[in-house]
Amino acid sequence: MQFALNLHQAHDLTLSYAYVTSIAQFRTLRAVQHVATRFAAQAASAYGARFGPSATALGFEVENKVLDANELRTERLDDSARLARSRWRMVTLGSRGEQEGSSGVGVGVGNVGSSAHRKACSRGEEFVRLLQEGVRPDYSPALTESIAPVDPADFMGTRGRFPP
């Protein structure tokens, strides 16, 4: 662009003609460079030079290897998630599975479907009821409870655990 502006200002060419001239000269220079490079490569090959892949081609190969490895890792994660879904099922409270006992409906691994767990978990019904009544949950007391003071001489809590 600077060359076209220079032609316009220093040589009194119209701006459009200066632009066309600068583009033509650029393309000519680029073609000369390309031909010179091709002849140099042919001469080097004739004298026994061997050309390997360019740095760009090597970069693409490395990138493809990384992408393939990520794809395999994603497939393995998908397989493990599918396997986990087949092992674990949601515990549904109040379903027919509770009344039928050991029918397996709504029961995960372990004794998750026990009556103690059913009494402890209300499936969010209690939360929704309180929310509809306008009571907002307040978790701050659990977060701001005081912590037992720490002895500066035993800040890691190891005093008395090991013999002197």
Indicate left, alpha or beta for 94 from its phi (over 0: left) and psi (-120 to 50: alpha).
left
**Which span out of 22-36, 38-52, 75-89, 119-133 was modeled with the highest average pLDDT?**
22-36
> pLDDT band for position 104 (50/70/90)?
very low
The whole-chain average pLDDT of the chain stands at 75
37-51, 56-70, 88-102: least confident range: 88-102
Q: Output the DSSP codes for the chain.
A: -HHHHHHHHHS---HHHHHHHHHHHHHHHHHHHHHHHHHHHHHHHHTT------HHHHHHHHHHHHHHHHHHHHHHHHHHHHHHHHH-----TTSHHHHTSSS-TT--SSSTT-HHHHHH--TTHHHHHHHHTTPPP--HHHHH-------GGGTTS-TTTS--
> pLDDT band for position 146 (50/70/90)?
low
Burial of 4 (0-12, 13-18, 19+ CB in 10 A): buried
Statement: the pTM of the whole predicted model exceeds 0.85: no
Alpha carbons within 13 A on the beta-carbon side of 82 = 6
- Pairwise pLDDT comparison (111 vs 68), residue with the higher score: 68
Residue 95 has pLDDT above 70, yes or no: no
Average pLDDT over every residue of 91-107 = 47
Residue 24 has pLDDT above 50, yes or no: yes
CA–CA gap between residue 75 and residue 84 (Å, rounded):
14
Residue 94 has pLDDT above 80, yes or no: no
> pLDDT band for position 75 (50/70/90)?
confident
